[in-house]
Structure 1
Amino acid sequence: MFTGLDDLDWAALRHAYGTAEGVPELLRGLLDPDPATREVALDAMYGAVHHQGSVYDSTVAAVPFLLEALRTPALPGRAGIAEFLASVAENCSAVVVSNPTPAGADNFGPAKADNPSQSEADNPNPAKAGEPGPTRAEISGIAEAHEAAAAGMARASLRLIEEAVPGLIGLADDPDPKVRAAVSQLLALHRDGVAVLITRAAAESDPEARTGMIEGLGRSADPAVAEHLISVAAEAPRASASVAALIAAAHITPERVPTDGITELLQRAYAEEAEPAEPAGFETDTLIGAIRVHRERADQGRRNPAVARSIDSFARLLGPRVAERTAILTELLRDPHPDIVQDALFGAGHLIERWRGDYRELVDLVAAQLPNPGAERGLNHWVPLSAPAADALAAQVARGDGLVHHEIGLPSLSPALSALIDLGDERAFEPLVAIVERPEHPRDAVQRLRGFPQHADRILDLLLASDAEPDDLATALALCGAAARPAVPRILSVPVKSWTADALGRIGGDQAIDALRAALRGNDVSVALAAAEALWRLESSSEAIEVLGAHLTEPGALPKIAAIGPAAGGLLKKIRPLLESSGKAGWVSTNAALAVWRIAGDAEAATPALVAGWNGNEHARRRIAEQAGGVPALLPLFEAELAEVRRAGTDEYSFSSSQVADDEKLQDSITRSIAARERRVSRR
């Protein structure tokens, strides 16, 4: 098996973690008779050779051997290999689309001497110790070379797979139904493979293989295939097959997939009789093994494990059809069956976290599912939209101690308590105090006290008598202002950090000022900048402005200067040239424009960079809306943003526990800026 595998110089090839000399062992492991060994090898292939969707020269080298194994009858592990190759093809296709082949370039990117992944030993002119590092332009060139190399390897991998697909068509009749299901994702890359899948799926007797073939057809980009799948859904004798066909069609043309009667269809599919899910009977210390075991356990007790997560999958693919998605999930969250409710909770999360809409009823229904952990986590991630669920969250906190206990390590705050804290709900304060008073408590518990400034006196007494870490103490006591000065010696018992500098600037006093002045002269630029901001807050120090002006292009400097406003007018001459900066994501030019606007009110000078920053960096929009709402040219951009359905800065794969809150704050900032402008106009 694997003819010529050992003839390649794998040690000269690379993967995510360095030399690829261990890849031959992984390839052989993929075909081992022991399923645990195969799982370990497959996990390592995903983790190194195809790390987070990336491809390397070792990926290109491995593809022919993987294809050889896939074509060899009766070998174990071929289904996993087919899925791996399909993942490589999918990710490579995305890279190729975003990086078209430049004229005159070959398919493998630049020569090795231009490849930034090479070792220092391969570089004929490595930097010597003590010599200056690369300039920004050189770093940019290295990044571009790396991107070009990655695109070249993606093209090479994709070409190898696509050229092999016609030779894989016979696997649609493979004796192993798992192989028939998995290889369908590859066959859909070729028109002949699509034709075979359409014919073969209609005759397939194995439910898993038939579903796999239908899902494979969803990888086609042909709208005619989507129409075929919609017709299959209308005629299929089993509801589960209809659901699979609609999901596959939604991958191709989500705007055309019908939703009439979909909730009843999903309910029938989930209720179908099916073989119980059989666990594999082993565990491995791998990510894909952990995911498999988690799914095996989750599928226990499901009426039809074959359709697990279909609700979430279908709803996600509808994308901006928010009203329809909301109606479907609202109805399914009222279903009496826990398997349907669980998958509807997943669907609600993907909807609320990435799309804007009126979710009050949906939130109420999710709250009714407490203490379901999925409902609790969702409500925590959806603050402030989870405010209507505050009573249910408080009841959930009252049922326990507000903690999640782990087998190893400290407990963590429960999602319900964390949500109540973020909502500023008074019912969260006493449970949080009780947690802080415990001998062992979550590291962030002390810091979360800052959410209750109305209880500053109580917090001060609690923390002065506690053994809280100095950094945590500083973060929490910043809200107490001058009353927290007795805690300054404890705060200063460790080196000043940027967040402790901020706290010292709010607490004040001679000790704090002396420490901040010392931090101005330290080697840590981020701490010096935070100290400068804090000193300005305390005494409008000209020395603070000088320090900020000396580090204009450092992260955080320009926003701090903008916050000072007109008093920083002496820096305008140095700031204006930065309006033309082409720095990464446009942050430097955007922040320079905000500083020019806040210091001088010069809309004409600031507008080009603000418009460019708004259009080029969604993550900058909230800052622009909050600080430059009075710039006239931004009004059309504000109105266009409010008309968007997708949350700013998100896609179907992004996740942050704060992305709902961030987007809601953006919308609120825009709304207030527009309202303020309208008030100014009405007064004229």
Structure 2
Amino acid sequence: MDLDTVFAGLDRIAWPELHHAYGPADDVPDLLRALAATDEESAEEAEQELWSSIVHQGTVYRATVPAVPFLARLAAAGVRSAELLGMLGAIAESTDEHDPERPGAARAAVVAQLPVILAMLSDAEPEVRQCAAWAVAQCGPGAGADARAALRSRWTTETDPTVRADLLTAYAVVDPGAAQELCATAKGTTEPPQVRVAALLAIVDTGQPWGDDSAAVVAALSPLEPHTAGGQWEREALESLVTGLHERGDVDAAIDAAIDVAVSALDRAVEAVGAGADPKESAQEATWAAGCLALRSKTAPARLLPAMLPLLDHPDTAGDVIDAIRDWAVPAPQAVPPLVRLAEGAGEHADRALAALVRVGAPEAAGLLARHFEDRPRALAAAFDRTMQRPPVPLPCAPELLDAVRARLAALTAGATTAGPRQSLVAGGLAAANEPVHLSGVLAGWGPRARAALPELVDALPHHPFAVSRALAAIADAGRDPDVVAALRARAGTGSVPDRQAAAAALHALTGDATVVLSVLGPALDEPNGPRDNCLRAVAPLGEQARPLLPRLRALLAEPVENRSTVPAVEAALTAATATWELTGDQETVLPVVLEGLGWAERPWGDRVAERAAEVAALVGPAARPAEPRLLAMLDRPDTAAAAARALAALHPGSDRPAGVPLTELVDRVLPSLEPGAYLNSALAALKTLAALGPTAFTPAQLDRIRGLAEGERRIVGSGIQIDIIRNDEEFRAAARTVLAGLTR
């Protein structure tokens, strides 16, 4: 195909009237022509520009659609064939369409070029054949009968194992109903490992039965990862198998099968350890897949952990098992003896093992930590994290551990060369910067039981005021500890606003005297570019004592709307509105800011602001009814529906149709917020809304849904810091059980 034929009609398209990621698409013709340049650097640059403009981070545009035929012709003419087939596949795959002329137009454009793409399934280059199969697969079952026939025909003649595996995967995508027979043959021993693994993945992807014969193939081929290298479908095979099985419709059977797959892989790794072979590759794949399953399945950890424990005996495999014990939140008494042995050693594994012992609350943890403070930063961080959980579960305040904490805090204070700002992470390293925070947090968790550490805390206060102030407030007694009161009063008078505020807040907590904290907060609220929101959050605990700040709060609310163009600025205004309402009940002052905040629901990344505004509307109650139209619109957005539903119920207390919406419908709007993969705070907020709607809002089916959240096998919390997901999910389940009990009482 000559280039004149390739580019025929290119200049008849009104490219300036079309748009891509960076505006008018008048540059697209030159970029398409540059792909055929003899200069490799220019061609590669043009390709990257097209990726960036017409398939920007997976988004397709109006200008993408007319570019597709030219990309297909260029690929067929041998111009960057593999790369352009990859681009065509990405266009077909995209569901993120920006201002489409009609939904699915970009994929339809690729489907229209399938006759050109299918011809490249017979290209002399294996990579081109692979990319052609991948591009066809991205068109899905809509690729049509010709595509199905072409893939099946090429399968019968293809000899390259990697291309053959990708052809099987592509065929299973475009014709899942006919894939069963092919997969049954392909997983047999006559096929190369790449094809057998592709068959296993296709069996799971297409919902075919998973039997002992499939599990046997996994055991025979483990580790699976080497058999997927070079394929166009970039995924970790064992993880995809176990999580895919778990996601299938028959949950119990799928979980059993998924766990069997992971356990068989773990057994294989253990056998390697016993035989003196290097188990690292098999063990890493198996423990990673087990961890991914544990993040999805409530029952998986207890069933997987026993199979993993023998891997603690090998230095190359111990780390992943230690982390699993630390993160999975399941009782593991059989793991304690080997962890203790590791924790008594030296090096990184010793620290990680002790962190796991701390996390699971092993009685041996306190003594081990006391003896090894200086070289166990992970274990100290784990002890601190226990204090920060909801509710806190600090380590026992054993005398030896208290003495060790005091000694270490004193040593750090003695080594501090300057007072004031907290240590730079760059200058001192993360562990050095965090250690005083962690030590102070452990002491705070013990409360008055840590009274013996007050001298060390007072000495450390000038160097670490933020963390130490919190500890002093938790431990000291104003009547018995005048030196603590004096130290906090002095620290509240100097330094940065956050540090002064921390000391003043601790002083207020100890004495009930708000004079000092008001003297810190007042001037800070006058600084438009200062830490206003944090200061305003400190107003709430003051209650009526915050009344002297009321003029400043009113002045902040009266500022022009254009002053609140950023998220921190509008959040500060909403916090000020909350405090003002609680002090005055002044609807006229508060409501404009609430309406302004609700308007952020329509902005990119504005959901958090809108949720905060809905919370204020709920606090205001019936006086906030002018906000109803915006709250009703927020019901259509999963990220804001829970806050909006709670506010609407508060605007119409006792009504079974707040703002004309039946309570059962509000429940239906909230429940999608509780799908697997949620963040803990969002999930807890949704539960709070469900509880606020009350027992009469729920149908029996909806109550069953709540029961499933509390007692079901699948985890709901699936986002956030990975090491906390399982514990967060357990916290969510406990809250769901409480809500369920209240609704069914």
Counterpart of 1:159 (choices 108, 117, 121) is: 108
Q: CA deviation at 1:531?
A: 3.4
2:216 counterpart of 1:264: yes
**Per-residue Cα deviation, 1:464-484 (whole angstroms, up to 9, x for no partner):** 637767666777777568768
**Per-residue Cα deviation, 1:39-92 (whole angstroms, up to 9, x for no partner):** 77666655553233211234334423321222113x4x4223222321221123
The equivalent residue for 2:59 is: 54
The equivalent residue for 2:460 is: 465
* Unaligned residue ranges in structure 1 (runs of 5+): 96-146, 273-298, 404-412, 563-567
Secondary structure in structure 2 of the residue aligned to 1:582: helix
Q: CA deviation at 1:179?
A: 1.0
Q: Which amino acid aligns with 2:580?
A: E
Once residues 542 and 627 of structure 1 are traced to their aligned partners in structure 2, the CA distance between those partners, rounded to angstroms, is 32
Once residues 715 and 329 of structure 2 are traced to their aligned partners in structure 1, the CA distance between those partners, rounded to angstroms, is 14
Q: CA deviation at 1:329?
A: 0.8
2:238 counterpart of 1:170: no
- 1:588-627 aligned at under 5 Å gives the runs 590-591=642-643, 594=646, 602=654, 604=656, 607=663, 611-618=667-674, 620-626=682-688
2:733 counterpart of 1:667: yes
* Unaligned residue ranges in structure 2 (runs of 5+): 138-142, 249-253, 273-278, 353-375, 388-393, 416-422, 479-483, 551-577, 598-608
The equivalent residue for 2:182 is: 228
2:610 counterpart of 1:546: no
The equivalent residue for 1:641 is: 709
Once residues 646 and 151 of structure 1 are traced to their aligned partners in structure 2, the CA distance between those partners, rounded to angstroms, is 37
- 1:202-217 aligned at under 5 Å gives the runs 202-217=156-171
**Percent of pairs with identical residues:** 20
Would you say the 8 A contact 1:178–1:208 is kept in 2? no
The equivalent residue for 1:512 is: 517
Distance 1:170 1:469, change over 3 A: farther
Would you say the 8 A contact 2:518–2:546 is kept in 1? no
Would you say the 8 A contact 1:629–1:670 is kept in 2? no
2:88 counterpart of 1:85: yes
Would you say the 8 A contact 2:197–2:228 is kept in 1? no
Would you say the 8 A contact 1:352–1:359 is kept in 2? yes
Q: Which moved more, 1:312-321 or 1:371-380?
A: 371-380
Once residues 500 and 129 of structure 2 are traced to their aligned partners in structure 1, the CA distance between those partners, rounded to angstroms, is 57
The equivalent residue for 1:573 is: 622
Would you say the 8 A contact 1:587–1:613 is kept in 2? no
Q: CA deviation at 1:643?
A: 5.5
Would you say the 8 A contact 2:73–2:116 is kept in 1? no
Counterpart of 1:194 (choices 131, 135, 148) is: 148
Once residues 316 and 184 of structure 2 are traced to their aligned partners in structure 1, the CA distance between those partners, rounded to angstroms, is 38
Distance 1:514 1:582, change over 3 A: farther
Distance 1:583 1:315, change over 3 A: same
- 1:121-520 aligned at under 5 Å gives the runs 149-152=98-101, 155-188=104-137, 189-220=143-174, 222-234=176-188, 236-251=190-205, 253-254=206-207, 256-270=208-222, 305=229, 309-318=236-245, 319-320=247-248, 321-334=254-267, 335=269, 336=272, 337-363=279-305, 365=307, 368=311, 375=320, 379=324, 382=327, 384=329, 395=342, 399-400=347-348, 421-423=384-386, 426=395, 440-442=428-430, 452=442, 453-455=444-446, 458=453, 461=456, 465=460, 486-487=487-488, 489=491, 493-495=495-497, 509-516=514-521
- 1:17-36 aligned at under 5 Å gives the runs none
Q: CA deviation at 1:183?
A: 0.7
Once residues 373 and 6 of structure 1 are traced to their aligned partners in structure 2, the CA distance between those partners, rounded to angstroms, is 63
Distance 1:25 1:598, change over 3 A: same
Q: Which amino acid aligns with 2:108?
A: R
**Per-residue Cα deviation, 1:456-508 (whole angstroms, up to 9, x for no partner):** 65599458637767666777777568768845746973345999699667576
Would you say the 8 A contact 1:6–1:24 is kept in 2? yes
Q: CA deviation at 1:177?
A: 0.7
Q: CA deviation at 1:259?
A: 3.6
Secondary structure in structure 1 of the residue aligned to 2:101: helix
Distance 1:600 1:176, change over 3 A: closer
Query: TM-score, normalised to structure 2's length?
Result: 0.62
Secondary structure in structure 2 of the residue aligned to 1:354: coil
> Looking at both structures, which has the greater relative contact order when contacts are Cα pairs under 8 Å and sequence separation is at least 6?
1
Secondary structure in structure 2 of the residue aligned to 1:88: helix
Once residues 36 and 415 of structure 1 are traced to their aligned partners in structure 2, the CA distance between those partners, rounded to angstroms, is 48
Q: CA deviation at 1:455?
A: 4.8
Once residues 319 and 44 of structure 2 are traced to their aligned partners in structure 1, the CA distance between those partners, rounded to angstroms, is 28
The equivalent residue for 1:582 is: 632
Distance 1:204 1:558, change over 3 A: closer
Would you say the 8 A contact 2:20–2:62 is kept in 1? yes
Would you say the 8 A contact 1:63–1:85 is kept in 2? yes
Once residues 201 and 214 of structure 1 are traced to their aligned partners in structure 2, the CA distance between those partners, rounded to angstroms, is 7
Would you say the 8 A contact 2:645–2:689 is kept in 1? no
2:19 counterpart of 1:70: no
Q: Which amino acid aligns with 2:92?
A: A
Once residues 325 and 472 of structure 2 are traced to their aligned partners in structure 1, the CA distance between those partners, rounded to angstroms, is 25
Q: Which moved more, 1:550-559 or 1:596-605?
A: 596-605
Would you say the 8 A contact 1:315–1:325 is kept in 2? yes
Secondary structure in structure 2 of the residue aligned to 1:205: coil
Q: CA deviation at 1:311?
A: 1.2
Once residues 529 and 511 of structure 1 are traced to their aligned partners in structure 2, the CA distance between those partners, rounded to angstroms, is 15
Would you say the 8 A contact 1:49–1:55 is kept in 2? yes
Q: Which amino acid aligns with 1:465?
A: A
Counterpart of 1:3 (choices 3, 7, 22) is: 7
Q: CA deviation at 1:187?
A: 2.9
Matched residue count: 574
Secondary structure in structure 2 of the residue aligned to 1:258: coil
Q: CA deviation at 1:663?
A: 2.8
The equivalent residue for 1:104 is: none
Secondary structure in structure 2 of the residue aligned to 1:57: coil
The equivalent residue for 2:276 is: none
Secondary structure in structure 2 of the residue aligned to 1:150: coil
Would you say the 8 A contact 2:114–2:147 is kept in 1? yes
- Tell which structure's C-alpha radius of gyration is larger: 2
Q: Which amino acid aligns with 1:441?
A: G
The equivalent residue for 1:534 is: 541
Distance 1:600 1:14, change over 3 A: closer
Query: TM-score, normalised to structure 1's length?
Result: 0.67
Secondary structure in structure 2 of the residue aligned to 1:218: helix
Q: Which amino acid aligns with 2:114?
A: V
Would you say the 8 A contact 1:165–1:193 is kept in 2? yes
Distance 1:37 1:643, change over 3 A: farther
Secondary structure in structure 2 of the residue aligned to 1:219: helix
Secondary structure in structure 1 of the residue aligned to 2:298: coil
Q: CA deviation at 1:184?
A: 0.6
Distance 1:575 1:455, change over 3 A: same
**Per-residue Cα deviation, 1:11-57 (whole angstroms, up to 9, x for no partner):** 77654455667766765776788999877766665555323321123
Distance 1:426 1:262, change over 3 A: farther
Please provide the CA RMSD for this pair: 5.1
Distance 1:157 1:601, change over 3 A: closer
Once residues 348 and 260 of structure 1 are traced to their aligned partners in structure 2, the CA distance between those partners, rounded to angstroms, is 19
The equivalent residue for 2:373 is: none
Distance 1:494 1:183, change over 3 A: same
Secondary structure in structure 1 of the residue aligned to 2:212: coil
